[in-house]
Amino acid sequence: MLQLQFIRDNKASIIEALKKRNFDAAEVVNEAISLDETRRSLQVELDNTLASSNKLSKEIGILFKSGEPKKAAILREKGTQLRAQAETIKTDLKEKEEALSELLYTIPNVPNALVPSGNSEEDNEEIFSAGEIPTLHAAAQPHWELAKKYDIIDFELGNKITGAGFPVYKGKGARLQRALIQYFLDKNTDAGYTEYQVPHLVNEASGYGTGQLPDKEGQMYHATGDDLYLIPTAEVPVTNMFRGDLLKAESLPICCTAYTPCFRREAGSYGAHVRGLNRLHQFDKVEIVRIERPEDSYAALDGMVDHIKEILEELKLPYRILRLCGGDLGFTAALTYDFEVFSTAQDRWLEISSVSNFETFQANRLKLRIKDKDGNKQLAHTLNGSSLALPRVLAGILENYQTENGIEIPEVLRRYTGFDRIS
């Protein structure tokens, strides 16, 4: 969330910048400042009341030692009143702090100056494209038909076991899935990212720390018996490993990668754009996360973009990069680049990665700070990206690499799969 001091010092510019998100922040920002002023006033009142109570306690002790119990008794009654007054102020202060915190959780991150204005994905800005769109044979099919034809993904079996959006990968389909995971992890670790295996369930504090709660509560699977949440992305457990930490500036950057399944209760809809692997409730993803000094974070973001470009070029998939507009920007992000691969069989672009800089927005929730050699402290910058999300990458491979004699495997994956064709 945004820092209160930042809000107070930059009220007008924050309200103006959030218009890019089509978010009218004037009322909520003014209310936050008003609540903070009340909170600070109550804190001063509480401090003064407690100081008076402590002073009175010392005076009572002196009177008892001086043999003046009647005067001490009078002061003790006054002391009781002060303590009761302090408890009332504490209750009011706690209510104001909770109201302020809940209000701050509703304010999205301020967009970077590079974020274009716009209302939806139609207004996103294409900044790069590469790769040739293949010409397929006349009988080319979308991936859900190919999956059935070659018996590599069983959507109906997943529906039987769990429900729609939970596919079962079989044979060479399962092996190709595993090959992609290993390839992505190897690329990330070779680039300096440390691999982690993390829990697939997180507590509420972790959800709030990275901004999934309360913004995306309806999209998360909640295990109510233990009050734990299934992760929507490895970003949540990986970033929360550093919650509450005070890091030495010289230890940065911290670069992490992790493979996890991801779980999302996305609203159901119909049509080819959500068929097959296009939208799932459970899917595999390899994530990269960085903790950076503020002055280094945007160079790091560019480096993450270049890293994912290299992966897609090795896979030889046609892709493009979009800079998300304000209306399509995630709640916690200051700047996001989306990667999309072109599905020739579906004749449409499929999103396969989002790479974002959150600046201090997550770090403020996480209380994740940096301490320099002079002892100065500041909030860190956090970044994350999909490197990569598997379902649509797999869909792109199946569709773009299909031939009349089967599906060829990208050359870079063959040492992982152990085969070069699905037929």
The pLDDT value given to residue 272: 58
The pLDDT value given to residue 60: 79
369-371 β-sheet, strand order: 246-248, 369-371, 377-379
The pLDDT value given to residue 360: 98
φ/ψ (deg, to 5) at 170: -130, 150
The pLDDT value given to residue 172: 98
Tokens found for residue 185: 């992890």
Indicate the pTM of the whole model: 0.92
Smallest CA-to-CA distance from 367 within 195, 133, 206 is with 206
- What SS3 state is found at 192? coil
The pLDDT value given to residue 177: 97
- DSSP 8-state symbol, 120: S
- DSSP 8-state symbol, 151: T
The segments of the chain whose pLDDT lies below 70 read 267-273
Q: In whole angstroms, what separates CA 205 from the centre of its chain?
A: 13
- What SS3 state is found at 114? coil
In 367-384, which positions are buried (b, 16+ CB within 10 angstroms) versus exposed (e)? ebbbeeeeeeeebbbbbb
φ/ψ (deg, to 5) at 57: -60, -40
